[in-house]
Every structure is written in C-alpha cells, then in structure tokens.
Amino acid sequence: MLSRPTIQFDTMVETLKAAAEPSRLRILVLLSHTDLTVSDLTEILNQSQPRVSRHLKLLLEADLIVRYQEGSWAFFRLSDTEAARAFVTAVVGRVDQADDVIERDLERLEAIKRRRQERAAEYFAQNAASWDEIRSLHVPDAAVEQALLELIGNEPFQSMADLGTGTGRLLELFAPLYRRGVGVDLSREMLAVARANLEKADILHAQVRLGDVYAPPVERDAHDLVTLHQVLHYLDEPAQAVGEAAKLLRPAGRLVIVDFATHDLEFLREEHAHLRLGFSDRQIREWVEAAGLVLTETRSFAPETNGDAGLTVKLWIAQDQRLLIADTELSAAAGTEIA
C-alpha cells in the first residue's frame, strides 16, 4: 500500500491558517485548474492587486503555491512538494464546484483561457499561409528534420498522430513510414494549408481534422508515433497536452516533442502569441514521466545566427514502456526456468 505524505503538526497548523480564508481558498481552487498571473487573479477575484499579492505571499510562505518567472510575467502554480500538493488536492476536492462564488470564479477563468486561445488562433489565422516562412526565421528546420528521421529510423509502422499539425510538415516528413497518419489542429486556416500541402505531395494515406490537443479526436492506445512539433509554447496547459498525447500511444510507441529551450525573448509573447518562453529538460522529463513514459533521447540545436538573440531548439523523445516491460519480464522468467 502506498504511504501518504505527512505534514508536521506545527506546519499543518500554519498550512490550515493559510488555506482557511475565503480569497486564498478561491485562489487554490483556481490554481488547481491552471497557472495564473497576479493580473489574472485580480480580474477573477475582483480585488485590488495589493490585496491579491498579499494573499499570494501568505500562500507562498505556507508552501502551498510556487512562483515562477517567464520573461516579464510571473506565474503562480500549486506547490511541487508531494505533501503540499496532496493537502491542496484533498481540500480543493471537497469544495463544491457548483457553489455560486466558485462557479463565478471558474466562469471568469474560462473567459481568460478563451482570450489566450483567441490570441493564438488569431495569429495562426493571420499567418497560416506564411507560417513555415515565419518559423524558419528562428528554427533550423532542416537540421531538426534530419535528426528526427535518424532517431525514428526507417522501419515502417502502422499509425502516426501529429497534434497541432500546422502546415502538416511532419505528416509529409514521415509519410514513407506510416500506413495511416492523422493531423489535428484548432485552426481551420492551418488545416486548409495542411490539406493543400498533403495534396501537393500526393500523400493520400494522411488526413487532417479539426480538434483540440487537450482532447484530440483520435483513437487512444493506437499510434506508434505521436508528435508535438512547436506546439507547447502556444498552450496554456502544456503538461496536460503531453499527458493527452501519451494516451494516444500504443505499447512501445514514441512521443516526439520539438520546441524551444528556455529563453527571454519577450517579443515572441507580445508579437507572436507565445504563452511560454521555452522549456527546460527538467520540465519535459517531469511531464513525460507523469504521463507514464520514459525520456529516451534529448537533442539541442543552437541558433545558426544571432548568437544570444537566437533560439535554441530542443528535441525530446519519450517512449511508452508497456510492451518493453512485458518483454523484459518474460525474458527474466524464461531465464529463471532454464536455470
């Protein structure tokens, strides 16, 4: 039986004091849904910024939440410590989500999420036709694609799912390997571009469809390769997207993530709708492991020009271990019988 994390008596008293206040409990409920800034919380709670900051300070001191910086924005999320997260999850789980105050908070939260998504969708709509050209300004596509082909290998496989497919480039890249491919995107304009590109390349065994990476309209446990190529930095909940992508993999399937390493190029957020300024190896490792996968490969691609003003591209590959574990256990059992 798994043991539950415990909190020392004195610490528990302080933790309860921190959480047992209406505004702070509302903040914990909100942060259980997504990471938020002070401005977000000010809008949702309809309170002054100094007051919200005071509540956040007390929650930080109680180790119930953590603060992290992305460029000029400061985000808050639930604590990473096992004991604190277990405590918050238990408390928040007992709060009636249909309560008038909580329901109103969650409605305002959804409005903030919609605005974020609309900004990204608007950018895609405006730049759909020239997206590959824009991306080539700061990503060494050829080098990344060559590495992808080398790492995935040349063995044919059954199925591929490309989440946030954009122009459908990865569906083109791996078309000689898969028997069935599907791309998912939330932008109709991007899907139109992807369809045109696939038709131009005479790729008939791939299709693209409208859908959300948080709830992809494709079969679970059915794909040998799932890709998230330059997608996560546009998402409000990248960890959730990684988790959903992992659910699509069949045993021994592989998840490929391509995105930027952490950086401080604020203009990408302001001018190009990036919600996240890159990701660290630690973040990606934690997310894929939480999704039940094992990180098997990491590659870095430094900018070819611009020096410190450029962007480093990262490639991460994670694998579903179910079939591999089964094979190992069978081998071990066979070895024991022979002995």
Nearest to 169 by CA among 227, 124, 219, 120: 227
Sign of CA dihedral 206, 209, 212, 214: negative
pLDDT score recorded for residue 108: 95
Contact between residue 316 and residue 244 where contact means Cβ atoms under 8 Å apart:
no
> What pLDDT digit, counting tens, does each position of 109-134 carry?
999 888 877 776 676 667 665 555 45
> What pLDDT digit, counting tens, does each position of 9-28 carry?
888 888 888 889 999 999 99
Q: How far is CA 215 from CA 44, 229, 258, in A?
A: 25, 17, 20
Low-confidence residues of the chain, pLDDT below 70? 1-4, 70-71, 120-121, 123-125, 127-140, 305-309, 324-339
Strand 65-70 relative to strand 73-78, pairing: antiparallel
pLDDT score recorded for residue 259: 95
pLDDT score recorded for residue 149: 97
pLDDT score recorded for residue 9: 83
pLDDT score recorded for residue 1: 40
> What pLDDT digit, counting tens, does each position of 199-227 carry?
788 887 888 888 899 999 999 999 999 99
Q: How far apart are CA 88 and CA 64, in angstroms?
A: 7
Burial of 52 per CB tally in 10 Å (0-12, 13-18, 19+): buried
pLDDT score recorded for residue 18: 85
pLDDT score recorded for residue 191: 84
Q: How far apart are CA 313 and CA 301, in angstroms?
A: 5
